[in-house]
Amino acid sequence: MAPMKTDLCIIGGGAAGLSLAAGAARMGARVVLVEGHRMGGDCLNYGCVPSKALLAAAARAQAMREGGCGIAGVLPKIDHAAVMAHVRGAIAAIAPHDSVERFEGLGVRVIRDWARFVSPREIQAGGEVIRARRFVIATGSRPAVPPVPGLDRVPYLTNETLFELDARPDRLLILGGGPIGIEMAQAHRRLGAEVAVIEAKRALGREDPEAAALVLDRLRAEGVEIFEHAEVRRVTGRAGAITVETADGLLEGSHLLVAAGRQPALERLDLPAAGVEADAAGVRVDSGLRSTNRRIYAIGDAAGQGQFTHLAGYHAGLVIRPILLGLPARVRRDHMPRVTYSDPELAQIGSTEAEARAAHGDAIEVVRADYAGNDRAVTGGRTAGFVKVVLRRGRPLGATLVGAEAGELVGPWALAIASGQRMTAMAGMILPYPTLGELNKRVAGAYFSPKLFENPWLKRGVRAIQRLLP
Ligand SMILES: Cc1cc2nc3c(=O)[nH]c(=O)nc-3n(C[C@H](O)[C@H](O)[C@H](O)COP(=O)(O)OP(=O)(O)OC[C@H]3O[C@@H](n4cnc5c(N)ncnc54)[C@H](O)[C@@H]3O)c2cc1C
Ligand SMILES: NC(=O)c1ccc[n+]([C@@H]2O[C@H](COP(=O)([O-])OP(=O)(O)OC[C@H]3O[C@@H](n4cnc5c(N)ncnc54)[C@H](O)[C@@H]3O)[C@@H](O)[C@H]2O)c1
């Protein structure tokens, strides 16, 4: 059988593969997309979309419970099946955007099968051999299951099965206190479950400790048990009755969610057949996301440079240049924001204070503004949180935001860091009053205030000029 020939063959129809397929087809390339399971990949089906939909339902329940601004709290009536219908409705509403029909409409040839390399220039999928000028591996990641004794003998949930539950877990044990563990802990607690998080190190361990503490304190105040530096020795039990044995005692639950990190999904690809090297993080790529086979690129979670939908989109936009136009491309890693959608939200872009200190020592400056000093936060009764910015030579290196809408507020810092703007740009921005966005301007003000208002030379100059002015 003669191979099917194409310009670009993309393996994986998640955020990374779909962004690339749409862009490349619209720019005139012949594109084949191979997806072995569900179009939309993790983000749409078992990741961002269902988790944020569940968090939204949980936030409504919590708002009723807490009341505030003079409104008494009431006990929310939670119909878990209806909540899950909302979650599935959100997936269904977004799914057409990622559908086979839409991509075929854009001119992409979509093959629904698992792909595997049969040579450095060919894959096999859907009963066809596909020979492409360029391949892109966009196969994503899957839950990593830690080597805990007994885990393989108990029924446990992962992000791939959690959103299939129709009944609320009575007592949910969560292994892992990263973003998945923390978001799902708060969502389930607010929806009425008892929840315990068991974390081997520090929960939200990548994040600025002060910002993480604010989130974790809030979860604890809502009744989530969080065990940090916990050594899990064994897991036993059966459906409905799971026991996690830690060095400090036994924890019992009705369900166990494993949220202990993710690993690249490369096993079906037969990478050695294509001369593509990979390690535990993902496909080994150069600064242009090209693998050890020069015709093959890797993007998104599979490239091992982070696991975010916006990173997948960025990678797709980047590799399209060399693949379609033969232009060089170089991946940047200093301007990728991340947000944990807990309440309060925690957003980070660029370096944390600790990372900046480790890299630049005392050459950095740190400025901050607290939500308590922002009028919109005060009027809305949402005063917990802060914005902290690390600078070097007048340019922001990183920003940490924790508090209401932190994920929205990080946007201007993403622009400033990506475009190398100075703090003057942020200070010069005029923002509507009263908005939470003014927090960003306030931080810039905190940077310039001492330079302006505690400067004896300036004071003397102003006095001299005042004497001269008519
Ligand atoms: C619970 C959860 C919540 C998350 N929340 C957020 C969030 O709020 N914000 C955010 O930015 N990120 C979030 N993420 C991360 C985000 O989902 C991923 O970073 C993103 O989906 C990566 O996209 P991708 O295209 O690289 O991989 P995927 O979305 O995993 O897509 C890969 C696709 O490749 C297919 N595939 C694999 N192997 C083959 C093969 N051999 N042949 C054919 N097809 C194959 C798979 O079936 C899959 O559809 C979350 C993740 C999880 C698990
Ligand atoms: N809001 C978002 O953008 C968002 C949300 C969820 C997930 N994600 C992405 O998905 C990735 C995976 O999320 P995650 O939370 O699963 O992974 P993670 O790697 O960020 O966190 C996993 C946690 O599990 C702990 N752990 C590992 N083995 C353990 C064990 N045996 N016992 C106890 N704890 C153990 C680790 O110390 C770590 O803190 C994230 O890094 C992120 O990139 C993003």
Please report the DSSP string for 138-157 in residue order.
---EEE-----TTGGGS--B
Structure confidence at residue 450 (pLDDT): 87
Structure confidence at residue 454 (pLDDT): 87
Count H helices, E strands: the chain? Answer: 17, 21
Are residues 2 and 30 in contact, defined by beta-carbon separation less than 8 angstroms? no
Are residues 344 and 387 in contact, defined by beta-carbon separation less than 8 angstroms? no
Structure confidence at residue 337 (pLDDT): 98
In this structure, what token pair is assigned to residue 410?
Answer: 């990080």
Q: Is the model's pLDDT at 449 over the cut of 90?
A: no
Measured from the Cα of 303, ligand 1's closest atom is 26
Structure confidence at residue 183 (pLDDT): 98
Round to whole Å and give the CA distance between 439 and 372: 10
Q: Is the bond preceding 179 in cis, omega lying within 30 degrees of 0?
A: no
Are residues 254 and 260 in contact, defined by beta-carbon separation less than 8 angstroms? no
Are residues 120 and 292 in contact, defined by beta-carbon separation less than 8 angstroms? no
What SS3 class is residue 77? coil
Name the phi and psi angles at 43, rounded to 5. -55, -50
Q: Is the model's pLDDT at 128 over the cut of 80?
A: yes
| Residue 253 β-bridge partners | 242
Counting ligands in written order, the one closest to the CA of 50 is 1
pLDDT > 70 fraction of the chain, expressed in percent and rounded: 100
Q: What is the mean pLDDT of residues 23-40?
A: 98
Q: What is the pLDDT of residues 343-401, one digit of tens each?
A: 999 999 999 999 999 999 999 999 999 999 999 999 999 999 999 999 999 999 999 99
| DSSP H or E run through 458 | helix 456-468
Counting ligands in written order, the one closest to the CA of 342 is 2
Structure confidence at residue 4 (pLDDT): 95
Structure confidence at residue 451 (pLDDT): 85
**What are the residues whose beta carbons fall under 8 Å from the beta carbon of 197, sequence distance 6 or more?**
174, 176, 177, 181, 182, 185, 203, 219, 224, 225, 226, 227
d(CA 204, ligand 2 centre) in Å:
8
Based on the number of CB atoms within 10 Å of its own CB, is 134 exposed (0-12), middle (13-18) or buried (19 or more)?
A: buried
In this structure, what token pair is assigned to residue 206?
Answer: 């990548």
d(CA 261, ligand 2 centre) in Å:
4
In this structure, what token pair is assigned to residue 43?
Answer: 């983000």
Q: What is the pLDDT of residues 260-287, one digit of tens each?
A: 999 999 999 999 999 999 999 999 999 9
Structure confidence at residue 422 (pLDDT): 95
Round to whole Å and give the CA distance between 226 and 259: 14
**What are the residues whose beta carbons fall under 8 Å from the beta carbon of 328, sequence distance 6 or more?**
288, 321, 322
* Residue 282 in contact with ligand 1 by CB distance below 6 A: no
The DSSP code for 289 is S
**Terminal Cα-to-Cα distance of the chain (whole angstroms):** 93
pLDDT > 90 fraction of the chain, expressed in percent and rounded: 96
Q: What is the mean pLDDT of residues 6-21?
A: 98
Q: What is the pLDDT of residues 286-297, one digit of tens each?
A: 999 999 999 999
Q: Is the model's pLDDT at 316 over the cut of 90?
A: yes
Structure confidence at residue 1 (pLDDT): 76
| Residue 369 β-bridge partners | 387
Round to whole Å and give the CA distance between 280 and 260: 15
Q: Which residues line ligand 2 (CB under 6 A)?
A: 146, 148, 175-181, 183, 198-201, 205, 232, 259-262, 307-308, 338-341
Measured from the Cα of 181, ligand 2's closest atom is 15
Round to whole Å and give the CA distance between 293 and 285: 9
| Residue 136 β-bridge partners | 10, 297
Q: What is the mean pLDDT of residues 217-246?
A: 97
Shortest-distance Cα residue to atom 45 of ligand 1: 12
Nearest Cα neighbor of 61 from 252, 214, 222, 251 is 222
Shortest-distance Cα residue to atom 3 of ligand 1: 47
Name the phi and psi angles at 308, rounded to 5. -140, 145
Alpha-helix runs per DSSP H in 279-352: 309-320
Round to whole Å and give the CA distance between 381 and 201: 33
**What are the residues whose beta carbons fall under 8 Å from the beta carbon of 374, sequence distance 6 or more?**
383, 434, 436, 438, 439, 442
Structure confidence at residue 455 (pLDDT): 87
Round to whole Å and give the CA distance between 381 and 343: 14
Round to whole Å and give the CA distance between 376 and 440: 13
Q: Which amino acid is at 146?
A: P
Shortest-distance Cα residue to atom 28 of ligand 2: 260
Report the length, in residues, of the chain. Answer: 470
Domains and CATH numbers, the chain: 4-143+263-325 (3.50.50.60), 151-261 (3.50.50.60), 344-453 (3.30.390.30)
Based on the number of CB atoms within 10 Å of its own CB, is 465 exposed (0-12), middle (13-18) or buried (19 or more)?
A: exposed
Round to whole Å and give the CA distance between 423 and 419: 12
Q: What is the pLDDT of residues 175-227, one digit of tens each?
A: 999 999 999 999 999 999 999 999 999 999 999 999 999 999 999 999 999 99
Q: How confident is the model at residue 142 (pLDDT cuts 50, 70, 90)?
A: very high
Q: How confident is the model at residue 464 (pLDDT cuts 50, 70, 90)?
A: very high
Q: How confident is the model at residue 80 (pLDDT cuts 50, 70, 90)?
A: very high
Residue to mutate, 42, 182, 199, 234, ligand 2, most ligand atoms under 8 Å from C-beta: 199
Q: Distances in Å between the alpha carbon of 109 and those of 5, 84, 355?
A: 11, 33, 45
How much is the mean pLDDT over the chain? 97
Round to whole Å and give the CA distance between 344 and 403: 5
Residue to mutate, 42, 180, 301, ligand 2, most ligand atoms under 8 Å from C-beta: 180
Structure confidence at residue 236 (pLDDT): 98
Task: Confirm whether the ipTM is greater than 0.90.
Answer: yes
